[in-house]
Amino acid sequence: MAELTPTTTMASLLRTYPGARRALFAEYHIGGCSSCAYQDEETLEQVCQRNEIAVGEAIDHVLKSHEVDAAMLITPAEVQKLREAGESMVFLDTRTREEHEAVAIEGSELMTQERQQELFGTAKEDSVIILYDHTGSRVLDTCAWFQGHGLKGTRGMLGGIDAWSQEVDSSVQRYRLEMD
């Protein structure tokens, strides 16, 4: 993993630490609206200076948040082991309906608002809930949302369906979104 320094660009920071956007917004209100937005090519130091935040403090916060994020993730191989062991779990696809209908992991279901609300109201705190997206870049926010609603057994699949296709089941078609 690349070292995080004051000269790290925001694009590189977010690529290396996917939860950094959420961490910086939650702690410092950076990046959530037009008045506190940043550009991909700006350095962390520039963003911190503009927002009157000590860059070392921001780096420490991103790194600590990353440790918390890492605990929310599960590898495709670990998910497959749970499935093979017959573990009772909910396997939710957080992508769009169109993506899910085009290609999905067998046994998964599309996460709809209704299904989410049902889980928030009925699932036990330690229920195993596995979430996945396309490449794993957005699943952390959804996972944090579920855990914040008391579902502590929720994990996000590292690398998403793309990693699943490469590491577990090559019959799951890989794809690229035009807007990626």
Alpha-carbon gap, residue 36 to 42, rounded angstroms: 13
What are the structural domain ranges in the chain?
10-68, 73-167
SS3 label, residue 58: helix
pTM: 0.79
pLDDT at 9: 96
Average pLDDT, stretch 63-86? 94
Cα–Cα distance, 142 to 119 (Å, whole number)? 13
73-167: CATH topology is Oxidized Rhodanese; domain 1 (3.40.250)
Give per-residue pLDDT as tens, 86-117: 999 999 999 999 999 999 999 999 999 999 99
Degrees, nearest 5: CA angle 56-27-2: 45
Tell me: pLDDT of 179 over 70.
Answer: no
Is the predicted pLDDT of residue 76 greater than 70, yes or no?
yes
Q: Evaluate if residue 180 carries a pLDDT over 70.
A: no
